[in-house]
Amino acid sequence: MSVQQEASFDGEALEVWIDQDLCTGDGICAQYAPEVFELDIDGLAYVKTADDQLLQDRGATTAVPLPLLTDVVDSAKECPGECIHVRRVSDKVEVYGPDVA
């Protein structure tokens, strides 16, 4: 997958982040999209980069790969902690997740 194959919403690149304060550690996200999400030793989920680097900083974001958009969105919908946020990169407006009206 090339770096250019990132998911978009209305033609804009998307990124995903997890609010670890709300994460319940159920691991549903890692089941849906293990290329994007991973549970760490603390039992919480974090996002990963395209080269599999775990991003443990609070609020860290990673690009949503186009082939995984459905899996990432399903993760956000099914997350019991409602802690997965998918937003446009350009203006940080959430397009999938608990803050979408």
Half-sphere exposure of 46 (CA within 13 A, CB side): 17
For residue 49, what pLDDT is reported?
Answer: 95
**54: Cβ contacts below 8 Å, ≥ 6 apart:** 38, 40, 46, 48
pLDDT at 100 over 70: yes
pLDDT at 47 over 60: yes
Closest of 6, 16, 35, 14 to residue 77, by C-alpha: 16
Query: In 3-state terms, what secondary structure has residue 71?
Result: helix
pLDDT at 9 over 70: no
For residue 36, what pLDDT is reported?
Answer: 98
